[in-house]
Amino acid sequence: MNNISINDFQYRSGHSPVATVMNASTITIPPSLYLILFCLLSWTPGHAAEKWNDPHNYYLATAQNRGDLLHNVEKYHLPQGLEKLRQKKYRRAWEDFDFILRYYPNHPKGLLYMSDLSLRMNKPVQAEKYFQKAFKLYPGYADTHALYGIFLQKSGKLDEAIRQYKKALSLAPDSSETHYNLGLALYNKGDYEGALQHARVAYQLGFPLPGLRKKLRKIGKWTPATQDNASK
């Protein structure tokens, strides 16, 4: 997972999912229909065990270089959903992120942006069901637990967030982002020693954001000696 942290969310660029009649002879085909046609044309009997419109494991697709479907799902729905989110067209953004997560229930950016959208809409239960589906279909992925932790932390559920971060670290102990976010959660809980421990590891692993270090420095927990140890 690339630098996904509690304080680091960015949104990027727009399409209409609805076909529009331009004149009597010209119709703009929605990108979703192009995607469906692409999948139907590229499907072969050898893919019978995993139909194109079944849920897919994001990490398996990337590891096996089976990226055509993934590429098209992302191309036609990820930047468009982010643009709608930026424009506060929340229902339209939800349609794009839902499309991504129906094809790839454990898609990390899909989960990240859907969880942020659900909080903006004040409907956290919406994101909850997507995370539970991802856990049920594809358990054992650290990123899913780390992203769920971010969602829970932003929802104010620190104890639950901490449990998810610890689960993520049990699966991927060298994730600097997860150590950082766990450190933030522990800091907010008042566990400054625990926060310091995970801050050290995060910075040893090269995490770039200085926020947690600044917080610990203000309360006298981050010292020059700590800095030296974190640099080793």
Tens of pLDDT, residue by residue over 193-209, are 999 999 999 999 999 99
Classify 3 in phi/psi space as left (phi over 0), alpha (psi -120 to 50) or beta: left
Report for 5-9, 68-72, 179-183: range of highest mean pLDDT: 179-183
For residues 114 and 85, what is the distance between their CA atoms, to the nearest angstrom? 10
Helix (H, G, I), strand (E, B) or coil at 20: strand
Q: With contact defined as beta carbons under 8 Å apart, do 39 and 53 qualify?
A: yes
Domain residue spans of the chain: 1-43+50-139, 157-232
Band the pLDDT of 22: cuts 50, 70, 90.
Answer: very low
CATH number assigned to the domain covering 157-232 = 1.25.40.10
In the predicted structure, residue 38 carries a pLDDT above the cut 50: no
Which letter does DSSP use for residue 47 in this model?
G
Average confidence (pLDDT) over 97-119: 98
Class of CATH domain 1-43+50-139: mainly alpha
Residue predicted with more confidence, 35 or 153: 153
Only one residue has tokens 């690339």, namely 2
In the beta sheet, which residues pair with residue 5?
Answer: 8
For residues 180 and 176, what is the distance between their CA atoms, to the nearest angstrom? 6
For residues 7 and 116, what is the distance between their CA atoms, to the nearest angstrom? 12
Tell me the helices (H) and strands (E) count for the chain, helix number first.
12, 2
In the predicted structure, residue 36 carries a pLDDT above the cut 60: no
- Quote the pTM value: 0.77
pLDDT tens digits for range 137-161: 999 999 999 999 999 999 999 999 9
Percent of residues, the chain, with pLDDT higher than 70 = 74
pLDDT at site 10: 32
Band the pLDDT of 51: cuts 50, 70, 90.
Answer: low
Residue predicted with more confidence, 67 or 44: 67
